[in-house]
C-alpha cells in the first residue's frame, strides 16, 4: 500500500492519474496496470478501498441492485467462486467483496490512500494535467480520470442553530466505523430518501424513541429481502455470460427483459394483478415487470401511484399518520424509487413518531433538539439522512481547470455540460467514469462503470497506437449530447419532481437533469458508434514530432 506522506515531493510523471478506489477506480487501475502496461498514480481519500461502500455505513445500508449482478463481470472465476448471502447485499458484504477483489488482484499496494486530490489543471504548454493533493503530491499526467462516484459529497442543510446542538449528530454518508449506540436514546432522523428509509426501521428497533422529520412523503416498494436460495445462485452461475449480456443491453443494467404491456390498455383487474405480483416480488421489478408506460405517461403512472398509496394506507394503523406518509406531490418514480424493508410498518411502533415538516417546517436546531413551527422535540442524537450534492458536488470540491485556465465550476455554472458523460469540451484527456450525462445513477452502477472503464481504456490504447497526444470533446458534439439528454428527459416524468436528479435538493443549484435517461443499452450503442466512426465528436490531436535537423 502506498502511504500518504505530507512532505512536498518533486513532480512525478505518469501516464494517468485516477481518483477513487471504489468499483470505478479499482477496475481502472487493473486496466491501466495489467492490460495497458501504463504508469499511474491512484489517489483515494479514504484509508481503504470501497468508495461509496467505505463511507455509507449507516444502520440498514444495503444495495437496491440484486447481489448477483452487483459485482464485476470481468473476473469470471470470482463470479463462480463468490456467493452472496442474500437477495440485496448489505454494506459490510459489498465492502468485503471489494476488499477481496483488491487483494486478489494485488491492487492495494498501488493505491495512495488518505489522500485527496485538491487541484487538477490542464497545462497548455505541456498538454498534460498538473495534479496536486492535500498530502503535497505533484504529479504530471497525460490522462486525468475521475472515479469519484455520483453521490459522494454529503449534504447537511444549513439549518439555523445547527452547531448549537449539545447531543451527537451524524450524516448517513460519513458514519462512524465503530457504529452508534442508540440504546436508551431519543433520536431524530431528518430525511426520508433511500438512506433514511433504510436506517429508520433499524434505528427504531434500538432507540428509546425515534422522531422522523419528513419533508416529502415517498413512494416505495418492499425489498422482499431474503437469504439467497443456493440452487438459484448455482443456476445463475451456469448462465452468467447470458445474464451479463442481457444486463449490458438493457434499460437499467439489470438482466430483465422489459414488458411491452401498457397500463392504459390493461383492464383494471389486469393492472391490479400485475401490481400485486410486482409488490409480492418486490424491488425494482415492480416497475420493470408491470407496465412499459409508468415512467412516461401520467395516466399510466397514476394507476401505479394509487396502488402504492393503497398499500401505505393498509399498512399503517393510524389513519392520520398514514395520510402524512402518502405521497401526492410527484409521480411515482420521478424521484428515485425507494426499496424498503418494514418502513411503513415502523410507524406502527409505540416508540416512533412522524413529524410533517412540510406543514410545520423546522425553524432551528437548538442545544436540546429540533424546533419546528409546532414546538420543540428534545433529542440526544440527530441523524442527517439529507442526501448529497449529487453528480457535480464532488467535482467542485476540487479546483479543476481545463485549457486557458477555465474552471470546471464556471463551465458548468448553468448545469453540467458533457459529451457522453465521459468528457468535457475544453478539458482534453480528462475522462469521467459515470459522469453527469451518462446513465450512471439511473442504472445498476457496476454495469455502467465497466462500460466506461473499458471504453476509456480502449481510447487510451488507441492514442498510443495512433500517435495521438490529446483527445478533446467538440463543443458542438457536447451541445448536441446535452440537448439529447434533455430531450429524452422531457419525454419522461422525471422533470415533474423536485429531485436530486435535477439538483433541486441543493439551494441555488441550477435545475438541469443530470443523468442520461435513454437506457444503458442505447447508451452503449452510441459509445460504440462513436468509436467505430473514429471517435466522432472528438478532436484527436497528433503528437508533435520535432523536425530532424
Task: Enumerate binding residues for ligand NAP (CB under 6 A).
Answer: 62-64, 151, 157, 172, 190-196, 198, 215-216, 336, 357, 385-388, 441, 500, 505
Which residues neighbour 81 within 8 Å (Cβ) at sequence distance 6 or greater?
none
HEC secondary structure over 375-442: EEEECCEEEECCCECCCCHHHHCCEEECHHHCEHHHHCCCCCCCECCCECCCCCCEEECCCECECHHH
- Among residues 188 and 537, whose Cβ is nearest to ligand NAP? 188
Where does 433-546 show beta strands of DSSP type E?
Answer: 468-473, 538-542
**Least distance to ligand NAP from the beta carbon of 65, Å?**
7
**Least distance to ligand NAP from the beta carbon of 340, Å?**
9
**Reduced to 3 states, what is the DSSP secondary structure of residue 481?**
helix
Diameter of the chain measured on Cα atoms: 88
- Among residues 196 and 278, whose Cβ is nearest to ligand NAP? 196
- Among residues 52 and 290, whose Cβ is nearest to ligand NAP? 52
Q: What share of the chain is helix, strand, coil (3-state, %, to 5)?
A: 35, 20, 45
Report how far residue 438's alpha carbon sits from residue 100's, in angstroms, rounded to the nearest whole number. Answer: 28
- Among residues 121 and 162, whose Cβ is nearest to ligand NAP? 162
Which residues neighbour 230 within 8 Å (Cβ) at sequence distance 6 or greater?
83
**Least distance to ligand NAP from the beta carbon of 384, Å?**
8
**Least distance to ligand NAP from the beta carbon of 316, Å?**
18
- Among residues 301 and 505, whose Cβ is nearest to ligand NAP? 505
**Of 54, 44, 90, 89, nearest in space to 174 by CA:** 54
Q: Which residue is nearest to ligand NAP (CB)?
A: 193
**Least distance to ligand NAP from the beta carbon of 433, Å?**
17
- Among residues 300 and 442, whose Cβ is nearest to ligand NAP? 442
**Reduced to 3 states, what is the DSSP secondary structure of residue 121?**
strand
**Least distance to ligand NAP from the beta carbon of 267, Å?**
34
**Least distance to ligand NAP from the beta carbon of 252, Å?**
12
**Least distance to ligand NAP from the beta carbon of 198, Å?**
6
Instruction: Please give the angle made by the CA atoms of 388, 349 and 359, to the nearest 5 degrees.
Output: 50
**Least distance to ligand NAP from the beta carbon of 510, Å?**
17
> How many residues comprise the chain?
549
**Of 105, 139, 169, nearest in space to 16 by CA:** 139
**Least distance to ligand NAP from the beta carbon of 494, Å?**
13
- Among residues 106 and 373, whose Cβ is nearest to ligand NAP? 373
CA pseudo-torsion sign 357, 151, 439, 97: negative
- Among residues 117 and 441, whose Cβ is nearest to ligand NAP? 441
CB atoms within 10 A of CB 482: 20
b/e code 1-37 from CB counts within 10 Å (16+ = b) = eeebeeeeeeeeebbbbbbbbbbbbbbbbbbbbeebe
- Among residues 112 and 386, whose Cβ is nearest to ligand NAP? 386
- Among residues 195 and 287, whose Cβ is nearest to ligand NAP? 195
**Least distance to ligand NAP from the beta carbon of 445, Å?**
9
- Among residues 73 and 173, whose Cβ is nearest to ligand NAP? 173
Q: 175: burial class by Cβ within 10 Å (0-12, 13-18, 19+)?
A: buried
Amino acid at each position: 500500500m502506498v502511504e500518504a506522506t505530507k512532505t512536498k515531493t518533486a513532480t512525478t510523471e505518469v501516464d494517468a492519474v485516477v481518483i477513487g478506489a471504489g468499483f470505478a477506480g479499482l477496475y481502472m487501475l487493473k486496466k491501466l496496470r495489467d492490460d495497458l502496461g501504463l504508469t499511474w498514480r491512484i489517489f483515494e481519500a479514504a484509508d481503504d478501498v470501497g468508495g461509496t461502500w467505505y463511507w455509507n455505513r449507516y444502520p440498514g445500508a444495503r444495495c437496491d441492485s440484486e447481489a448477483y449482478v452487483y459485482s464485476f463481470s470481468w473476473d469470471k472465476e470470482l463470479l463462480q467462486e463468490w456467493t452472496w448471502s442474500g437477495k440485496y447485499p448489505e454494506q459490510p458484504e459489498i465492502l468485503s467483496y471489494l476488499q477481496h477483489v483488491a487483494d486478489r488482484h494485488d491492487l492495494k499496494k498501488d493505491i495512495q490512500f488518505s489522500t485527496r486530490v485538491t487541484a487538477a489543471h490542464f497545462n497548455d504548454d505541456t498538454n498534460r494535467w498538473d495534479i496536486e493533493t492535500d498530502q503535497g503530491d505533484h504529479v504530471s499526467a497525460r490522462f486525468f480520470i475521475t472515479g469519484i462516484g455520483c453521490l459522494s459529497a454529503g449534504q447537511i442543510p444549513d439549518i439555523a442553530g445547527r452547531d448549537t446542538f449539545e447531543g451527537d449528530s451524524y450524516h448517513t454518508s460519513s458514519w462512524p466505523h465503530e457504529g452508534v449506540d442508540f440504546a436508551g436514546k431519543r433520536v431524530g432522523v431528518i430525511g426520508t430518501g433511500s438512506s433514511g428509509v433504510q436506517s429508520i426501521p433499524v434505528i427504531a428497533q434500538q432507540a428509546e424513541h425515534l422522531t422522523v422529520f419528513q419533508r416529502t412523503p415517498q413512494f416505495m416498494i418492499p425489498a422482499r429481502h431474503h437469504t439467497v436460495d443456493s440452487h438459484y445462485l448455482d443456476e445463475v452461475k451456469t448462465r452468467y455470460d447470458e445474464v451479463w449480456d442481457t444486463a449490458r443491453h438493457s434499460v437499467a443494467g439489470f438482466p430483465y427483459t422489459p414488458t411491452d404491456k401498457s397500463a392504459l390498455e390493461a383492464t383494471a383487474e389486469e393492472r391490479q394483478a400485475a401490481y400485486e405480483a410486482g409488490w409480492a416480488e418486490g424491488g425494482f421489478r415492480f416497475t420493470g415487470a408491470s407496465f412499459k408506460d409508468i415512467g412516461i405517461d401520467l395516466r399510466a403512472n397514476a394507476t401505479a401511484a394509487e396502488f402504492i398509496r393503497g398499500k401505505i394506507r393498509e399498512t399503517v394503523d393510524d389513519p392520520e399518520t398514514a395520510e402524512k406518509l402518502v405521497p401526492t406531490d410527484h409521480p411515482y418514480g420521478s424521484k428515485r424509487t425507494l426499496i424498503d424493508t418494514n418502513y411503513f410498518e415502523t410507524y406502527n411502533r409505540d416508540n416512533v413518531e412522524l413529524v410533517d415538516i412540510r406543514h410545520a417546517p423546522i425553524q432551528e436546531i437548538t442545544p436540546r433538539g429540533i424546533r419546528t413551527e409546532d414546538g420543540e422535540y428534545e433529542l440526544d442524537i440527530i441523524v442527517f439522512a439529507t442526501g448529497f450534492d449529487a453528480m457535480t458536488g464532488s467535482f467542485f470540491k476540487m479546483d479543476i481547470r481545463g485549457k486557458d485556465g477555465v474552471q470546471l465550476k464556471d463551465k458548468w455554472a448553468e448545469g453540467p455540460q458533457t459529451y457522453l458523460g465521459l468528457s468535457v469540451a475544453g478539458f482534453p484527456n480528462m475522462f469521467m467514469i459515470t459522469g453527469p450525462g451518462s446513465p450512471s445513477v439511473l442504472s445498476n452502477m457496476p454495469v455502467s462503470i465497466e462500460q466506461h472503464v473499458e471504453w476509456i481504456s480502449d481510447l487510451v490504447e488507441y492514442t498510443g497506437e495512433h500517435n495521438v497526444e490529446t483527445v478533446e470533446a467538440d463543443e458542438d458534439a457536447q451541445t448536441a449530447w446535452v440537448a439529447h439528454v434533455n430531450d429524452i428527459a422531457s419525454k419522461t416524468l422525471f422533470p415533474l419532481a423536485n429531485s436530486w436528479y435535477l439538483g433541486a435538493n441543493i439551494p441555488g443549484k441550477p435545475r438541469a437533469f443530470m443523468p442520461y435517461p435513454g437506457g444503458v443499452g442505447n447508451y452503449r450503442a452510441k459509445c460504440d458508434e462513436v468509436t467505430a466512426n473514429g471517435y466522432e465528436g472528438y478532436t484527436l490531436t497528433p503528437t508533435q514530432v520535432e523536425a530532424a535537423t
